[in-house]
């Protein structure tokens, strides 16, 4: 009996997702009987799932025809996903130029609630392909990208981290909360983060924040490479190129540095 509950719960999730995907394909909505036939289920099962999705705002129902369509909550999720697409679109040129200038692999990541999610990796010019697979979620405490998120995101990410056990990936991983918070303060001051051999021995990354028009850190830009090329103290060349590219992407997303905003206000008065 204990094993049946998780299996049933997983099946229920699949049914819910099948319903949303099916309804998304119907411009004029769909009725419960038609939906049940399409998904090979019963009307009673469909109705239970539909009522829950209606209550949560993921579906809406036409009172005249009783047909179901996507609700406002799905629209809000779509907007959140679109922000990540914007991050990729607005970073393409800067990423290409950064890779050409440094020769290192470049990663664009989005800030999540449990880690940073790699959206794209452009491999460097080395014969070895060193990078992070897109879709990978890197933990906050053990990656340069994660430390940047902790330092600059408006989300209470450190509060969430403090509730978790800090996983040790290598002997270099920072697993002490006090030491981590001190490092995050340093990142906030210097504007960049590094994590030499904290996730994988022999590899390092440096990362800078990407801000949007609301001045929130929505992503990170990073260089990834062997420790012999990206050391604990990154080269001035790498740092300058990385910061310049990060600032360009932030500007593309509508971010204005405080000094620029002040200049604009003075000019308008």
Cα of 5 vs its chain's centroid, Å: 31
What pLDDT was estimated at residue 135?
Answer: 83
Q: What is the pLDDT of residue 79?
A: 63
Sorted by where each begins, the domain ranges of the chain are 4-70, 79-257
Confidence of residue 260 (pLDDT cuts 50, 70, 90): very low
pLDDT at residue 265 tops 60: no
103 pLDDT higher than 90: yes
More confident position, 75 or 29: 29
Q: Domain 4-70 adopts which CATH fold?
A: Arc Repressor Mutant, subunit A (1.10.10)
| pLDDT tens sequence across 2-44 | 445 556 668 889 899 999 999 988 888 999 999 999 999 999 9
Q: For 99, which DSSP code?
A: H
Q: For tokens 């664009």, what's the residue?
A: 108
Of 268 and 211, which is predicted with more confidence? 211
Two tokens, residue 31: 């009725």
CA distance between the termini of the chain:
72
Fold of 79-257: Beta-Lactamase (3.30.450)
pLDDT score of 235 more than 70? yes
- pLDDT higher than 50, residue 262: no
Q: Is the pLDDT of residue 261 over 60?
A: no
Which of 139, 148, 132, 142 lies closest to 209 in space, CA to CA?
148
**Which runs of consecutive H residues, i.e. helices, occur in 25-70?**
32-39, 43-55
> DSSP secondary-structure letter at 45?
H
Predicted local distance difference test score (pLDDT) of residue 263: 36
pLDDT tens per residue, range 136-181? 889 999 999 999 999 999 889 999 899 989 999 999 999 999 999 9
Q: How does the average pLDDT of the chain come out, rounded?
A: 87
The band of 85, judged by pLDDT with boundaries at 50, 70 and 90, is low
Predicted pLDDT at 57: 87
Res 266: pLDDT? 35
pLDDT digits (tens, 9 = 90+) for 182-222: 999 999 999 999 999 999 999 999 999 999 988 999 999 99
> Helix axis angle, 4-24 relative to 32-39, nearest 10°?
120
- Cross-strand partners of 117: 110, 137
Q: What is the dihedral of CA 44, 50, 53, 58, to 10 degrees?
A: 160
């Amino acid at each position: 009996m204990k094993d049946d509950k998780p299996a049933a719960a997983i099946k229920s999730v699949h049914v819910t997702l099948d319903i949303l995907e099916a309804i998304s394909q119907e411009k004029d909505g769909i009725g419960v009987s038609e939906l049940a036939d399409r998904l090979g289920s019963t009307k009673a099962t469909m109705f239970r799932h539909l009522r829950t999705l209606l209550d949560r705002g993921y579906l809406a129902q036409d009172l005249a025809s009783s047909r179901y369509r996507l609700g406002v909550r799905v629209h809000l999720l779509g907007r959140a996903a679109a922000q990540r697409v914007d991050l990729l679109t607005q970073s393409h040129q800067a990423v290409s130029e950064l890779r050409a200038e440094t020769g290192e692999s470049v990663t664009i990541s989005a800030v999540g609630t449990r880690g940073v999610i790699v959206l794209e990796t452009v491999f460097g010019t080395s014969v070895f392909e060193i990078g992070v697979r897109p879709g990978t979620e890197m933990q906050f405490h053990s990656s340069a990208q994660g430390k940047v998120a902790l330092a600059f995101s408006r989300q209470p990410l450190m509060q969430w981290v403090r509730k978790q056990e800090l996983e040790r990936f290598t002997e270099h991983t920072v697993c002490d909360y006090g030491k981590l918070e001190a490092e995050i303060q340093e990142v906030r001051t210097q504007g960049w983060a590094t994590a030499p051999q904290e996730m994988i021995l022999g590899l390092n990354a440096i990362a800078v924040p990407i801000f949007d028009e609301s001045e929130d850190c929505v992503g990170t830009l990073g260089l990834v490479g062997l420790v012999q090329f990206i050391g604990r103290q990154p080269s001035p060349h790498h740092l300058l190129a990385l910061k310049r590219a990060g600032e360009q992407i932030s500007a593309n997303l509508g971010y204005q540095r405080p000094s620029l905003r002040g200049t604009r206000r003075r000019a308008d008065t």
